[in-house]
Amino acid sequence: MSISVLDPTSEELVATKQTTARLTSLAGCKIGLLDNGKIRVHELLNVMETIFRTEHGVAEVMRFKKPDASRPVPSEVLTAMQGCDAIISAVGD
């Protein structure tokens, strides 16, 4: 009688990605704020934008919006986000 031993591991190579360096300061940066479509998130992002501009010297704040909280960000919004130094995704309620 013979015994077969199966190896369940995969030999597939996993691609690695380089990460972006962390920001050392927000001064002069372009920050994106993503509204997930929930109640009152707009008010939260308004306060955050004010803080970023007045206390951290952010050069520009770009606002983005998802259709609603349960759907992913549309591809055109993801493309527009590429120009930001950092993105903050906010959740309201």
What is the tens place of the pLDDT at every residue in 8-21? 777 777 777 788 88
**Tokens representing 70?**
């349960």
Percent of the chain with pLDDT over 90: 57
pTM recorded for the entire structure:
0.75
Min mean pLDDT across 1-10, 11-20, 26-35, 37-46 is at 11-20
DSSP at 87: E
Query: Which tokens go with 33?
Result: 């704020």
Burial classification of residue 53, based on how many CB atoms lie within 10 Å of its CB (0-12 exposed, 13-18 middle, 19 or more buried)? middle
**Helical H runs in 1-93?**
41-56, 75-81
